[in-house]
Chain A
């Protein structure tokens, strides 16, 4: 596994043969799929398909464990927002009443629909981050002619985030070296400590931005003036070329998206009324 600023990527993977733009295209388009799908089973299918793609791409599946608490807490928040804090709706079908709180079937159904819409989106993002190095994102943007300044600012933001994380680790280690151990302390105490971390981190960030600016100037980079108007070659792009299967994958994704829109709005497919899973749940709750 190789560490990137955004996570871990496999050392070797068949996905590396795919052009970085295709991966970005997959992320941008496939993560839109659940927006047009209400039936949870279809979104679960998309999620399973994404996990299979991760497995085929030799992503370390153990890393998925870290997303389980995220999935559980997100699901709980969505369910609570829709049910306990969902308000009173006389027009909805009441399932149960717990004191002043009414549980309506429509709100439970909507919570499930939303939850299973968000999950595949997250998995698509995880798939992208688990198979793309930082350079891939930059290459993907540059290959569709996003201006260099925009891609470079994005790269600098990634780099800056990485530096802040590194500095944060250094500050934490320095705290620990001086006997600070947050284990067993209360949450307000830990929050106060985090605020304390911010002071050296802020000072370090200021110093680093000065050094970073100096490095940019020293390397002849200029945002303005005649130096900024020089036509720059994009050497890194010479390492990447679109192959026939890249076009094929892009076509498959694009056609799938168009088909999805057609089925959704032309034939009313993927609606809650069509959902077998929701129908079974409805029967179970009654």
Chain B
């Protein structure tokens, strides 16, 4: 039997310019995202990452005024062709500022709000609430007001609220930008479990590359509204020199092996995590240049 992988998101010749701005936020983007894939999107501030996330969820052009060229299709249908509220059942977005996305008075209310909106029954809501509470370890916080908990907890609530709706595609827009390392770790631990257990299509826009490269199968670099690089994570970091030119600083282990390569002490693919780096470094120390 032939296994086919379908594209959940297809973006063709897509450009978007916000009203009253001189330059387009995104220009001539061509991109496909396959079902079940884990994609990392990186780029400096103002490169169009959030605009891309909003375009994939229909917030653009739905909620914003601007000029659109090209097409953004989700599950084979243009985002504008979806009924109001329909696309959001398929694509969930977690925004960078958790505080701004809270719509309820307690954490529990926040988690169930989306599920009520999509018409789930009480039994289904209860089942999903139990699942998402366990996944994100929010049990002790359910009765608390969302504005009273810590930044890391807030972001877990925001993530859980979207996860509870069980969207087929999950987009996280800089979910850890306001978090300390411990809270960042917790968010990524949830993503690790999601990837392992749920097979969601996950798109993460993130500055914290250390965590992202361990999970993402594919990386995309945006800069000044243009898609500069789109490749498998390993191939992506083979082009570290190019990334550095674009002011993208790879994780420590990749940077270290890149420096070794420049000094002629290492030949081969950059390791993506510390475990891989350890094995390669042992080989280098044993006298072999190839890791």
Binding site for B on A (CB under 8 A): 3-5, 133-135, 138, 155-156, 158-159, 162-163, 166, 208, 210-222, 224-228, 230-236, 238
The proximity string for B residues 71-111 relative to A, scoring 1 for CB distances below 8 Å and 0 otherwise, is 00000000000011110110011010101111111101100
Q: A217-B62, A227-B86 are in contact. Are A135 and B106 (CB under 8 A)?
A: yes
Q: Given that A4-B145, A134-B145, A219-B165 are contacting pairs, would A232 and B117 also be in contact in the complex, using a CB cutoff of 8 Å?
A: yes
Q: Are the CB atoms of B88 and A166 closer together than 8 Å? A: no
Could you tell me the dominant secondary structure of chain A's interface residues? Answer: helix
Alpha-carbon gap, A55 to B290, bound state (A): 77
Docked pose: A212 CA to B63 CA in angstroms: 12
B160 at the interface (CB under 8 A from A): no
The 7 A-B pairs of least Cβ separation, nearest first, read A227-B85, A211-B100, A215-B101, A225-B84, A230-B119, A219-B114, A220-B117
- Check B212 for interface membership: any CB of A closer than 8 A: no
Q: Does B161 have its Cβ within 8 Å of any Cβ on chain A?
A: yes
| Contacting pair B147 A162 (CB below 8 A) | yes
CB distance from B95 to the nearest CB of A (A): 7
Interfacial residues of chain B within 251-276, with CB under 8 A of chain A in the complex: none
Q: Are B108 and A236 in contact (CB under 8 A)?
A: yes
> Of B30-38, B121-129, B222-230, B279-287, which stretch is located at the interface?
B121-129
Asked whether any CB of chain A lies closer than 8 Å to the CB of B162, the reply is yes
Q: Are A155 and B105 in contact (CB under 8 A)?
A: yes
Chain B residues whose CB sits within 8 angstroms of the CB of A235 once the complex forms: 112, 115-116, 122, 125-126, 129
| Residue on B nearest A224 in the bound complex, by CB | B84
Q: How many interface residues does chain B have, given as a range?
A: 35 or more
Take A215-B100, A235-B116, A236-B112 as given contacts and tell me if A220 and B88 are in contact as well, using a CB distance cutoff of 8 Å.
Answer: yes
The CA of A158 and the CA of B161, in the complex, are separated in Å by 20
Give the Cβ gap from B219 to chain A, nearest Cβ, in Å.
24
Check if A219 sits within 8 Å of B161, measured CB to CB. yes
Contacts of B103 in A (CB 8 A): 156, 159, 212, 215-216, 219, 221
Q: Cβ of A156: which chain B residues have Cβ within 8 Å of it?
A: 103
Per the bound structure, the CA–CA distance linking A3 and B121 in Å amounts to 32
The CA-CA distance from A76 to B269 in the complex, in Å, is 81
Bound-state CA distance A235–B100 (Å) is 23
Question: Counting CB contacts under 8 A, is B57 at the interface?
Answer: yes
Question: Does chain A have a CB within 8 A of B13?
Answer: no
How far is it, in angstroms, between the C-alpha of A232 and the C-alpha of B120 when the chains are bound? 7
Contacts A3-B148, A4-B145, A218-B92 given; does A227 touch B84 at CB 8 Å: yes
B18 to chain A, nearest CB (A): 12
Is B118 part of the contact surface with A, judged by Cβ < 8 Å?
yes
For A228, list chain B residues within 8 Å (CB): 84-85
Task: Kindly state the separation between the CA atoms of A158 and B106 in the bound complex, as whole angstroms.
Answer: 13
Q: Which of A166, A212, A231, A233 meets B147, CB within 8 Å?
A: A166
Tell me, rounded to whole Å, the shortest Cβ–Cβ distance linking A164 to chain B. 12
Asked if A133 and B105 make an inter-chain contact with CB atoms under 8 angstroms apart, the answer reads yes
Sampled A-B contacts (7; CB under 8 Å):
A214-B59, A217-B58, A219-B162, A226-B83, A230-B118, A234-B116, A238-B122
When the two chains form the complex, which single residue of B54, B95, B125, B145 contacts A233, counting CB atoms closer than 8 Å? B125
Given contacts A224-B84, A225-B85, A238-B122, contact A218 B101 (CB under 8 A): yes
A235 to B112, CA, bound (A): 7
Task: For A215, list chain B residues within 8 Å (CB).
Answer: 95, 100-103
Known: A230-B117, A232-B119. A214 touches B63 (CB 8 A): yes
Given contacts A166-B147, A211-B97, contact A221 B85 (CB under 8 A): yes
Q: Does B113 contact A (CB under 8 A)?
A: yes
Task: Please encode chain B, from 3 to 16, with 1 for each CB lying within 8 Å of some chain A CB and 0 for all others.
Answer: 00000000000000
**A232–B145 alpha-carbon span in the complex (Å):** 22
